[in-house]
Amino acid sequence: MELKDLTCPTCGAPVKLRTRFVQVAVCEYCNQTLVIHDDKLDPTGKTAKMTQYPTPFSVGRYGSLKGTEFEVIGRVRYEYDEGWWDEWCLSIGGEKLIWIEEDEGLFRSFERVRIKSAITPWDDVFPGSSININKVDVFVTEKNEAKIIGAEGNLTVKRVPGTTLKYLDGTGNEQQYTIEFYEKSITLKSGEDLERGDFVFKEE
């Protein structure tokens, strides 16, 4: 696996790509959000510096989750009416990815799942009802809107600050589901709760 070194088109600083799956990289010098197209970095004009809060995660930090070693390569911050949450992108040896949602000290791992069935439109769903996704009955617990307000490091999904989304949270088949409705796409995530003790971090 060979990763080319790229240069930020806005400020000229080197931009490190930590896996070949990277779609978005944020310049650590000028905070420009850069989208990767044909091995080139396109500036989006979006810079969003995040307020820092205490967290064991940081981009570039190494650790392990239930014995599996990872490197933290990126983060996305979402804001909604009651606050915000972060999603951390972890690289497992550059070949596999795990995403961790951190919300007020609660941790959840999730993966993106292919949608193989029709999805009921967000407008037609209400908390307390059930919808069928990929042959699983999902009991909807939350319906809300959010906005991406910050990003840093490498992201393996195309998430850019300023993007708005609508989402549904629910449970089914002993899993937690989130369906995100973007302007032009729908993303399905399934995950499970983790304990803080499931993570071991290397000293920085």
Choose between 8 and 76: whose C-beta lies nearer to Zn ion. 8
Q: How far is CA 1 from CA 20, 77, 93, 95, in A?
A: 8, 29, 11, 10
Least distance from C-beta 59 to Zn ion, angstroms?
A: 15
Q: How far is CA 152 from CA 48, 106, 193, in A?
A: 9, 21, 24
Gyration radius from the chain CA atoms: 17
Backbone phi, psi, residue 55, to 5°? -160, 145
Backbone phi, psi, residue 122, to 5°? -50, -45
Least distance from C-beta 119 to Zn ion, angstroms?
A: 37
Choose between 7 and 68: whose C-beta lies nearer to Zn ion. 7
Least distance from C-beta 155 to Zn ion, angstroms?
A: 16
Choose between 36 and 90: whose C-beta lies nearer to Zn ion. 36
Choose between 47 and 163: whose C-beta lies nearer to Zn ion. 47
Least distance from C-beta 49 to Zn ion, angstroms?
A: 13
Give the binding site for Zn ion (CB under 5 A).
8, 10-11, 13, 27, 29-30, 32
Helix H or strand E segment including 166:
strand 164-172
